[in-house]
Amino acid sequence: MDNAPQSFEEFWPYYVSQHRDKTCRRLHFVGTTIAMGCVAAAPFYPAALIAAPVAGYGFAWIGHFVFEKNKPASWLGPKELVWSLRGDLRMWKKMLIGEMDAEVERLADTHGEETDAVHAQYAAH
């Protein structure tokens, strides 16, 4: 893959391009918040650790399949799975401080053709 990201920072514009729909991003925020709560509760209630990925991925997948109409970037491979989790956490923080909508617009303007090329290569697999 000629255009395949080689680092998380290169992956980030592609990740954002897969989360253009505001409802999808909001569902990620809810799922990530619940997942973090489950992890925090795990020392007191170990079964909560099992619920963390179910909540996190459950909300995110609804966002992708129903609203964004794409497959989660985490399904692209092991490296992308790790980068997607990191992307979820960065997106969560940017949403919390009110910066994510502007980030989506900024990256669409500056990396649109690049992320389209990466998407086309990932889709070929």
pLDDT at 76: 85
Across the chain, which has 125 residues, the per-10-residue mean pLDDT values are: 81 93 97 97 96 93 94 88 95 98 90 62 59
Query: Is 4 part of a structural domain of the chain?
Result: no
- The reply to whether 48 falls in a domain is yes
What is the pLDDT at residue 7?
93
Q: What is the pTM of this model?
A: 0.85
User: How many domains does the structure of the chain reveal?
Assistant: 1
> DSSP class of residue 76?
G
In a domain, 76, yes or no: yes
Residue 65 lies in a domain: yes
For residue 28, give the nearest of 94, 80, 76 by alpha carbon.
94
SS3 content of the chain, % helix, strand, coil (to 5): 80, 0, 20
Residue 111 forms part of a structural domain: yes
The answer to whether residue 18 is domain-embedded is: no
Domain presence at residue 105: yes
Can you give the residue range of the structural domain that contains 84? 28-123
Question: What local confidence, expressed as pLDDT, does residue 93 receive?
Answer: 98
34 domain-assigned: yes
Instruction: Output the pLDDT for position 18.
Output: 92
